[in-house]
Amino acid sequence: MFVVRKSSHNPLLKPIADHSWESFATFNWCPIQDKNRIHCLYRAESGMEYLHGKELRVSTIGWAQSSDGHHFDKRRQLIVPEYDWEQFGCEDPRVTKIDDTYYIFYTALSTFPFTADGIKIAVATTKDFKKISEKHLVTPFNAKAMVLFPEKINGKYVAMLSAHTDRPPVITAIAEFDNLEQLWSQQYWKQWHDHIEEHRIVLRRNENDQVEIGSAPIKTKDGWLLIYSHIQNYFSEHKVFGIEALLLDLKNPSKIIARTDGPLLVPEETYEEFGQVPNVIFPSGAFVHGKKLFIYYGATDTTGCRANVNLEDLLNSMKKEPIFKRYEKNPILESVSAHPWEDKAVFNPAAVELNGEVHIVYRAMGNEDTSVMGLAISKNGKDINERIKEPIYTPQLAFESKSHPGNSGCEDPRITQIEDTLHMFYTAYDGNNPPGVAATRITVKDFLNKSWNWSEPSMITPAGIDNKDACLFPGKVKGRYYIFHRAHNHICLDPIKSLDFKNDKIESFTPIVGPRIGMWDSQKVGIAAPPIRTKKGWLLFYHGVSDKSVYRVGALLLQLKDPTVIISRTTNFIFEPETYYEKNGQVAHVVFPCGVVNRKGTIFMYYGGGDSVVGVATAKLEQILKALGV
């Protein structure tokens, strides 16, 4: 579990109109630390120029420095075209320091219009970023994005590069050198290329994707950390540019030992969506300072941006160290063949703690595919001590009564306690019309006495609009009650005039959280359970659905005074289908919580597995808040 935060100062590097050589774009930058300064090399693009008989925007490599990481000044050109093999531009620098020398790898362009044969890797060296000492053409073949490891491995200098980037699919590979002069030995590269398959590292998730190396590898206790570009659906019109990370073995860097499950970053902000090349983010550098990993990336081939993530959280997530741990006796509730109303499936439970016991209100289905509510009670939050033999809530009105063959009824309850009343919101579905949100309530006294005197339910969302995943916010906000619900695949939070749901309905849809394209929650999101108040903010768990219809769980931290303001959102999921009862069932690959309880700093999360059984998992509240960055 980790959170990636984009700098509030983004974009940090912008074109300067008065500098002709960087008047159009400044992007794909690479930082390196030196005492109290950050040096940054970046691709600078000019306005239209006339060069060697061609009209084009010329890319050169600029230099800037910063003492605070936010403001970069003293900008000037460092690398410009001089030789035939770079005559039409120098792009996308990556820098590594070996001993007292900086090695700057960049893309050299020798032809225009640009062709694969004219796009190769070059290297420049400097000791002080004031002047370039040497420049050499590196690869005799099409390649980009070369990075040098900052120290020898097994007595060899080691580099990674992306070969044949302009004749995809790209080949990512390792190269080893006895000495640094071999970097630009054409004989070495010819022999290396003849055996390129022996040097390959497979980064692509599938054949429809494209990858390119981003930053120079960073040494960590767990392995070499590599930040790279992973482009989903590269060969279609629906490309998704993402930034991902992996770990390479410290002694054998051709071996991948861990990787992120998906993107750390995707285009979301305006400056990442609109520019010279829309919807593109591209990593080109990174470094560690203190406990944070800083990632430098280009946005829309126009500006330079930065993001950071807690390094330990990122590494733990890549190593699959879980935040939530399943109860070893899961599932804690299964269907009961002797009960026709729950002989098919029990799942998606709400939970509320009363008198020191956890009351689990779960969705149950029989062979008629009608959803009703059952109740089980646990003293320790895990083992079931009592299970009611009859449903405690059944469909009552037309909007939840079966009007068409198939699923119908009262689904996916969430319960919020306000003083001495339990307010239960659920999905009401008649099997024909779009599902909506219904509300009912019962006194705590009646609930504990098992006197099921529920109020007559009211549909509180507009008819004809698909709406689910709702709960009452546990308390007033600025004197008003609020309701979480899901509309148009977004989590919404909207006010309601009173708790008289017969007369007062949701009158607006205000989305506060939406799907993130290319990520684990790319298709839709909805709340899991009512939020938990903490000293740092309201902790809200939510479910997200991927483009492969996998249901996972993430977390949000909302501002105490104004829960429409998001303080933090997990970048990756914190819980996913792993066990047989989660990967199989009525709906495969589903974990779907509707209830959470905080018991003395331990979060108990109750969830449906595969739309068929109920499980519970626990996590420390302190650990969750730490991972959320507060």
**pLDDT tens-digit series, residues 105-153:** 999 999 999 999 999 999 999 999 999 999 999 999 999 999 999 999 9
Q: What are phi and psi of 327, to 5 degrees?
A: -70, 130
Question: What beta strand segments (E) does 381-510 contain?
Answer: 386-387, 408-418, 421-429, 436-443, 458-459, 467-472, 481-487, 490-496
Q: What pLDDT is stored for residue 503 in this prediction?
A: 87
- Specify burial of residue 620 (Cβ count, 10 A radius: 0-12, 13-18, 19+): middle
Rounded to whole angstroms, the Cα distance separating 451 from 422 reads 13
Q: What pLDDT is stored for residue 468 in this prediction?
A: 95
- Specify the amino acid at residue 130: K
- Percentage above 90 pLDDT, the chain: 90
CA dihedral 542, 544, 550, 552 (to 10 degrees): -30
Q: What pLDDT is stored for residue 13 in this prediction?
A: 97
Model confidence over 411-422: pLDDT tens digits?
A: 999 999 999 999
Strand partners, 303: 299
Q: Choose among 116, 115, 132: nearest CA to 77.
A: 132
What average pLDDT does range 228-238 have in this prediction? 91
Q: What pLDDT is stored for residue 379 in this prediction?
A: 97
- Percentage above 70 pLDDT, the chain: 100
Residue 483 has pLDDT above 80, yes or no: yes
Residue linked to tokens 């919101």: 425
Residue 81 contacts by C-beta under 8 Å, 6 or more apart in sequence?
51, 58, 60, 87, 88, 89, 90
Phi-psi region of 256 (alpha: psi -120 to 50; beta: other; left: phi over 0): beta
What average pLDDT does range 220-249 have in this prediction? 94
Residue 471 contacts by C-beta under 8 Å, 6 or more apart in sequence?
414, 415, 416, 425, 483, 484, 527, 529, 530
The radius of gyration computed from the CA coordinates of the chain, to the nearest angstrom, equals: 28
Q: Choose among 483, 512, 510, 515: nearest CA to 499.
A: 483
What is the DSSP-derived secondary structure letter of residue 170? Answer: P
Residue linked to tokens 């059944």: 394
Q: Choose among 473, 506, 486, 348: nearest CA to 412.
A: 348
Residue 6 has pLDDT above 90, yes or no: yes
Residue 495 has pLDDT above 80, yes or no: yes
Residue 569: pLDDT band (50, 70, 90) is: very high
Q: What pLDDT is stored for residue 206 in this prediction?
A: 84
Which token pair is 98?
Answer: 């070996």
Q: What pLDDT is stored for residue 74 in this prediction?
A: 93
Residue 205 has pLDDT above 90, yes or no: no
Beta carbons of 292 and 315 less than 8 angstroms apart: no
Q: What pLDDT is stored for residue 207 in this prediction?
A: 84
Residue 630 has pLDDT above 80, yes or no: no
Domains of the chain, first to last? 13-318 (2.115.10.20), 337-627 (2.115.10.20)
Which token pair is 32?
Answer: 């390196």
- Specify burial of residue 47 (Cβ count, 10 A radius: 0-12, 13-18, 19+): middle
Residue linked to tokens 């999101």: 525
User: What is the DSSP code string of 269-280?
Assistant: SHHHHSSSSSS-
Q: What pLDDT is stored for residue 3 in this prediction?
A: 94
Beta carbons of 282 and 28 less than 8 angstroms apart: yes
Beta carbons of 611 and 586 less than 8 angstroms apart: yes
Side-chain half-sphere CA neighbours of 47 within 13 A:
6
Which token pair is 134?
Answer: 């040497």
Which carries the bigger pLDDT value, residue 538 or residue 168? 538
Which token pair is 95?
Answer: 């820098």
What is the DSSP-derived secondary structure letter of residue 603? Answer: E
Q: What pLDDT is stored for residue 413 in this prediction?
A: 98
Residue 629 has pLDDT above 80, yes or no: no
pTM to 2 decimal places: 0.92
Cis peptide upstream of residue 11 (ω within 30 degrees of 0)? yes
Count of CB atoms situated within 10 Å of the CB of 498: 9
Residue 519 contacts by C-beta under 8 Å, 6 or more apart in sequence?
242, 262, 263, 266, 544, 546, 571
Beta carbons of 318 and 332 less than 8 angstroms apart: no
Residue 1: pLDDT band (50, 70, 90) is: confident
Model confidence over 72-95: pLDDT tens digits?
A: 999 999 999 999 999 999 999 999
Beta carbons of 57 and 24 less than 8 angstroms apart: yes
Across 165-184, b (16+ Cβ under 10 Å) vs e yields beeeebbbbbbbbeeeebbb
Which carries the bigger pLDDT value, residue 53 or residue 63? 63
Model confidence over 593-628: pLDDT tens digits?
A: 999 999 999 999 999 999 999 999 999 999 999 888
Task: Report the alpha-carbon angle 300-304-309, nearest 5.
Answer: 105
Beta carbons of 119 and 109 less than 8 angstroms apart: yes
What average pLDDT does range 357-367 have in this prediction? 97
Q: Choose among 399, 438, 393, 443: nearest CA to 422.
A: 443
Q: Give pairs for 402-406: CB < 8 Å, separation 24+.
A: 402/368, 402/370, 402/430, 402/431, 403/430, 403/431, 403/432, 403/433, 404/430, 404/431, 404/432, 405/431, 406/369, 406/431
Residue 237 has pLDDT above 90, yes or no: no
Strand partners, 229: 212, 243
Model confidence over 8-27: pLDDT tens digits?
A: 999 999 999 999 999 999 99
